Amino acid sequence: MTTLAPPAPVTAPEAAPTPRPARRRRDLAGRIGLLAASAVVAVVLLAALVPDLLAPQDPLEISLSESFAPPSAEHLFGTDQSGRDVFSRVIHGARQSLVIGIGATALGLLGALVLGLLGGLGGRLADGAVTRVIEVLYAFPGILLALILIAVYGNSALTQMVAVGLATMPGYARMVRSQVLAVRDSAYVEAARALGHSSPRILLRTLLPNAFRPLTVLITLGVGQAIVWAAALGFLGMGVQPPTAEWGAMLNAGRTYIQQAWWMDFFPGITIVLFTLSLTVLGRHLQRATDAGALR
């Protein structure tokens, strides 16, 4: 089927890998970038684990006299309509946003694993069915699948997570399937079979680890994507409800006041941008390091 060319790994008909020229200076720039990215990810993780350590103020404390204060030394990111400290709320929001992003990715992967293994190992009929299912899921672009799910099950953090997970699933499923297909016919699986290993053992000890390794990089990138999608849903008012500190919900609250208090949207937004960008940089680095580029 050429009509539904899947998004990511498309190569031109005769694209052969060519050795890239060594770029020493780029190495240095790359190393600085990697360091910065690691720092951003570390800070966000720290904020998710122990927000009280970093946040100067209570994220829920209302102080109406201080509402809509622009960024200052006291309120680094300004305050919102109820006078709550946006900086503290961004820090406290890290946990919720990370949980949703990681949870969604885990759900998407789990579904993808079931589909991918079924397609890769289940014989022609099962593979045909799985390929069709993936194709149909692909016909819903982007977050549309997530929106349907929210329309059906209503607004909640859980629906938001499941919805984003479902929306990411087809992409992962296609990759798992092609990985399983590639690994299934590899020499080492044949060797394991020749050694008389049982099928479950081959599946768990040989096939899965080998099929999964190249996917680890994509998972790093995927968590970033899931956070962005979850935040987009939150921005639209679907997901965690205020006053809980969560990045998407904060964006949604700021939307109403965008012309008078730009900082309410700007800072949660740039946090998401920096964090996902850092995940991308780390993911790319991992990709080069583990040579998972062969997956393309």
Partner 1 sequence: MTTTPALAARRALTTLASAALLLWAVATIVFFLQHLVPGDPAQTILGGASANPPEETLEAVRAQYGFDQPLLVQYGNFLAGLVRGDLGESYTMKQPVTAIVGEQILPTLQLTAASLLIAWALAIGLTLLTAGRRGRLARLGASLEVVLAALPHFWLGVVLLVVVAVVLQWLPVVDDGPAGLILPALTLGIPLGGFLAQVTRDEFETALQKPFVLSALSRGASPAAVRWRQVLRHAALPGIALSGWGLGSLISGAVVVEVIFSRQGIGQILVAAVTAQDLPLVIGVTFVVAAVYVLANILSDLATVLVDPRLRHTIGHA
- Cα 160 to Cα 49, 235, 290, distances in angstroms: 22, 12, 33
Q: Which residues of 121-130 are buried (b: 16+ CB within 10 A; e: fewer)?
A: beeeeebeeb
Answer yes or no: are the C-beta atoms of 159 and 150 closer than 8 Å. Answer: yes
Q: Binding residues for partner 1, per CB under 8 A?
A: 1-7, 10-13, 15-18, 20, 26, 29, 33, 132, 135-136, 139-144, 147-155, 224, 228, 231-232, 235-238, 251, 254-255, 258-259, 262, 265-266, 269-270, 272-273, 276-277, 280-281
CA 80 to chain CA centroid, Å, is 28
Distance CA 74, CA 56 (A): 9
Which residue's CB is nearer to partner 1, number 10 or number 187? 10
Q: Which two tokens stand for residue 94?
A: 């890290």
Residue 264 and residue 254 in contact, taking contact as beta carbons nearer than 8 Å: yes
- Smallest distance, Å, CB 54 to partner 1? 22
Q: Could you tell me the smallest distance in angstroms from the CB atom of residue 60 to partner 1? A: 23
Q: Which is nearer to partner 1, 29 or 294 (CB)?
A: 29
Which residue, 122 or 142, has its beta carbon nearer to partner 1?
A: 142
| Nearer to partner 1 among residue 62 and residue 292 (C-beta) | 292
How many CB atoms are located within 10 Å of the residue 78 CB?
21
Q: Minimum Å distance from CB 53 to partner 1?
A: 27
Q: Return the ∠ at Cα 27 (arms to 21 and 31), rounded to 5°.
A: 155
Token duo for residue 106: 């885990």
Question: Whole-number minimum distance, CB 211 to partner 1, in Å?
Answer: 25
CB of 112 to partner 1, least distance (A): 18
In whole angstroms, what is the distance from residue 245 CA to residue 250 CA?
7
Rounded to the nearest whole angstrom, what is the least distance from the CB of residue 169 to partner 1 in the complex? 13
Q: How far is the CB of 154 from partner 1 (least distance, A)?
A: 7
For partner 1, the closer of residues 107 and 149 by Cβ is: 149
What's the DSSP call for residue 79?
A: B
Closer by beta carbon to partner 1, 145 or else 176: 145
Cβ nearer to partner 1, comparing 29 with 110: 29
CA angle 190, 191, 194 (to 5 degrees): 90
237/285 Cα distance (integer angstroms): 35
